[in-house]
Amino acid sequence: MDILALKGRIPNEVLESIVKRGITRLTPPQEEAINAGVAEGKNVIIASPTASGKTLVAEIACASAIISKYKKAVYIAPMRALVMEKYTEFKEAYPYLKTSMSIGDLDSSDTWLQNQDMLFVSTEKFDSLLRHGISWLNRIGCIVFDEIHMMGDHSRGPTLELLVTKLANTCDAQIVALSATIGNAEEIAEWLNAKLVKNEYRPVKLKKGVVHDELAYYFDGPKEMDSAVRLLGSKKISELRVVEDTIAQSKQALVFYATKRNAEAGAVRLSECVNSLLTEEEHEGLAKVGDKILNTLERPTEQCMKLSNLVKKGVAFHHAGLVHAQRVAIENAFKSGIIKAVCSTTTLGLGVNMPAHTVLVKDITRYDGGASEMLSVNEVTQLFGRAGRPKYDKEGRALLIASTKDRIEELASSYINAKPEPIDSQLGMLPVLRTHILAFISENFLNTKQSLVSFLMKSFYGHQYSSEPHISRIVDEVTEELMAFEFIEAIKGEKGFYKATRLGKRVSELYVDPLSARWIINSLERDNDEIGILFTISNTLEMRPYVRATEEAEDTYVSRMHTYYNKSLLNEYERLDYGMYDPVRAMATALMLRDWAEEKKEQEIIKSYHTTPGEIFTKLNNADWMIYSTIELAKLMHKSVRGMVDMRVRLRYGIKGELLDLVRLEQIGRVRARMLYTNGIKTVPDIRKNAVLVEKLFGKELAKRILSQIP
């Protein structure tokens, strides 16, 4: 369909914006969505491959609701990187609309959002906004759920499913759901009373195949192999040969591995092969990127040096162990074409916006909790979707590796010619419902057993299983547990009615699991030293996965359990956790936080706890959230929070208590604060008195910025 055929069907402003970007025709899925009524406010589910144009359909729906109906629109995605990407694209396309992004603070109603037209949020953030009682819910005209297949994810799926259920039943807004892989799209469309657009169109043809030794076997049908092609190059190892062949075609490759260690090892293997194929000009550009990555942290770690050296050879590894700035630098360098191959973990790969000509899924087996499991068809299809770059490639290719020739047909049957698995609700688990039922009662959204049961029957779980007696039993168990925690109570004189206690409402607002909150509250009943505070926040669901156990952690836990902690409390926490629980690893996590606050070097912490820079900073971010929540709960209990407030600042900067005054100033972190203290400058007033020394330590410009903050 010619884009101008939309004149009169969508607002002129939207049409002008699309044409201005050089889009002249609609893709088949886009045309089907228009004919399904997406521009007129109809609910639509779009199941089509990556890069088939789903985002433009969502844009048309959102912009039409804002411009034609004077409503607000919300774009919800499971990953922050995806939220940021879509926010940037929309803001550039519609600079005159009030567009905002909110992915951070989970204990805020962000009242300023009421004046925005278009809002981009993460799933958890919008769920949090609802818990804080936003006043503009009825002003929303369109809600987009990107990556709707994430409802099948056991960890993040329940929150997404309940958010969809709540908005679909309380908000008179159009729902647009997007996914590249939905095995049971018809079932989800029926659940949401939506028109289904299911189309296999792909702007760049995708060749799927299996590599064994030096040959790539391509499959272009459900039964037979289409062709076998000898890959360019000289390497005998399939993994290296694929990348060698890709670079010989002046293309780039993404290689996916099951673990961070595998991704790093893969990058090392590929680096020598890639390095020899680079031009002098490319080496110069890569040297700059490598230096930037090396100097991301105040003190480069071994991982920083390893990554920097690999980047200078044209290869990078990309996983959750990197800090955000390093991942961004790699992604930008890859998009610009300067990095030739990126080795990523499969989990992070699902959220990576780095399309490449060739995608190689090296590992199809992963280890979860010590058990081996195969990647699903959905996961592999998502990874395959990164192959082929619109505007750059006429075709992309997605490959698996067969260890033996006999495995070629097996892999093709299991993944290339297999249909995506159906999405199953992950809602039927007590720990999952514990936090959401508390939220519903706290918001005064659902206050009776019957209303809770009726609502859950409207969920995808209820749609799939339709077992009201089962859901009724779950509601009874959860509400009894929440009453035992004293987070909700029965309303006197009104049988079957519940209300949240003051404590329960605050727990819900803080977005903390009720079990974690119960542990924190009971822990606050005793006096806590520094290790006590850190173990309190570390021994929570939100801080998982914990770091590896250490001998020191085991000794500390055992000695303190008998002399300091309430053993019955620990036993109760273990009983209520409904899963694997390892308090020694929680103690190891607490000791890692202690070491950070004692100014241990990052490299020393990495070695002691077998962790990575990215994981350290993730733990610190989560620790900040949990210690803030602990402070808020302590205030309600009229407990002293001074030690916790100091510890929060110490964790934020990685400093001992003696540096707390100095880090009040911008430009002064853990390294500069320690330099000042070592040179006899111990407080902010001392800085003013020793201006000459400060200039000598940091240089004229930096000293000027520091001194300008002091009256």
What's 447's domain CATH number? 1.10.10.10
**Does 422 map to a domain?**
no
List the beta bridge partners of residue 669.
Answer: none
Cis-peptide, bond into residue 545, ω within 30° of zero: yes
Cα 210 from Cα 412, distance rounded (Å): 7
Boundary (domain end) residue, out of 452, 481, 508: 508
Domain that holds residue 228: 205-416
Instruction: Check whether residue 14 and residue 55 sit in a common domain.
Output: yes
Instruction: Check whether residue 445 and residue 332 sit in a common domain.
Output: no
**Does 225 map to a domain?**
yes
Helices (H), 418-529: 430-442, 449-457, 460-465, 468-484, 502-509, 514-523
**Does 157 map to a domain?**
yes
Those residues with Cβ within 8 angstroms of residue 517's Cβ, 6 or more apart along the chain or in another chain: 485, 487, 507, 510, 629, 633
Cα 65 from Cα 68, distance rounded (Å): 6
Identify the pLDDT of residue 178.
95
Cα 377 from Cα 421, distance rounded (Å): 7
Identify the pLDDT of residue 1.
87
Name the DSSP letter for residue 448.
Answer: B
**Does 621 map to a domain?**
yes
Identify the pLDDT of residue 142.
98
Boundary (domain end) residue, out of 613, 638, 654: 654
Boundary (domain end) residue, out of 140, 164, 198: 198
**Does 425 map to a domain?**
no
- Return the H-helix or E-strand segment holding 206: strand 205-212
**Does 423 map to a domain?**
no
Instruction: Check whether residue 117 and residue 231 sit in a common domain.
Output: no
Instruction: Check whether residue 517 and residue 472 sit in a common domain.
Output: no
Token duo for residue 537? 């926040």
Q: What is the largest CA-CA distance in the chain?
A: 82
Instruction: Check whether residue 105 and residue 210 sit in a common domain.
Output: no
Identify the pLDDT of residue 415.
94
Residue type, 15: L
Any idea what the CATH number is for the domain that residue 537 is in?
Answer: 1.10.3380.30
N-to-C CA span, the chain:
65
Q: Are strands 253-257 and 205-212 parallel, antiparallel or unpaired?
A: unpaired
pLDDT in tens, 565-608: 666 666 666 766 655 678 899 999 999 999 999 999 989 999 99
Instruction: Check whether residue 486 and residue 504 sit in a common domain.
Output: yes
Instruction: Check whether residue 58 and residue 8 sit in a common domain.
Output: yes
* 12 C-beta neighbours (distance < 10 Å), count: 11
Instruction: Check whether residue 231 and residue 193 sit in a common domain.
Output: no
Cα 390 from Cα 460, distance rounded (Å): 35
Asked if 199 and 28 count as a contact pair (C-beta separation under 8 A), the reply is yes
**Does 341 map to a domain?**
yes
Identify the pLDDT of residue 37.
96
Identify the pLDDT of residue 549.
93
| Secondary-structure percent of the chain, ordered helix, strand, coil, rounded to 5 | 55, 15, 35
- Which residue shows structure tokens 């969502």? 58
Cα-trace Rg, the chain: 27
Instruction: Check whether residue 382 and residue 451 sit in a common domain.
Output: no
Identify the pLDDT of residue 81.
82
Cα 104 from Cα 90, distance rounded (Å): 20
Please state the domain count of the chain.
5
Token duo for residue 542? 């939100």
Token duo for residue 141? 């005209």
Instruction: Check whether residue 475 and residue 523 sit in a common domain.
Output: no
Asked if 390 and 378 count as a contact pair (C-beta separation under 8 A), the reply is no
Put residue 37 in one of left, alpha, beta given phi > 0 → left and psi -120 to 50 → alpha. left
Asked if 18 and 90 count as a contact pair (C-beta separation under 8 A), the reply is no
Any idea what the CATH number is for the domain that residue 673 is in?
Answer: 1.10.150.20
Identify the pLDDT of residue 525.
84
pLDDT under 50: residue ranges of the chain: none
Instruction: Check whether residue 518 and residue 502 sit in a common domain.
Output: no
Any idea what the CATH number is for the domain that residue 378 is in?
Answer: 3.40.50.300
**Does 567 map to a domain?**
yes
Between the alpha carbon of residue 83 and those of residues 89, 142, 145, 146, 381, the distances in Å are 10, 16, 11, 9, 21
Identify the pLDDT of residue 240.
95
pLDDT in tens, 157-209: 999 999 999 999 999 999 999 998 889 999 999 999 999 999 999 989 999 99
Instruction: Check whether residue 499 and residue 564 sit in a common domain.
Output: no
Identify the pLDDT of residue 538.
95
Identify the pLDDT of residue 492.
79
pLDDT in tens, 66-120: 999 999 999 999 888 889 989 999 999 999 999 999 987 776 767 888 899 999 9
Closest C-alpha to 363, from 345, 381, 387: 345
Burial class (CB in 10 A: 0-12, 13-18, 19+), 407: middle
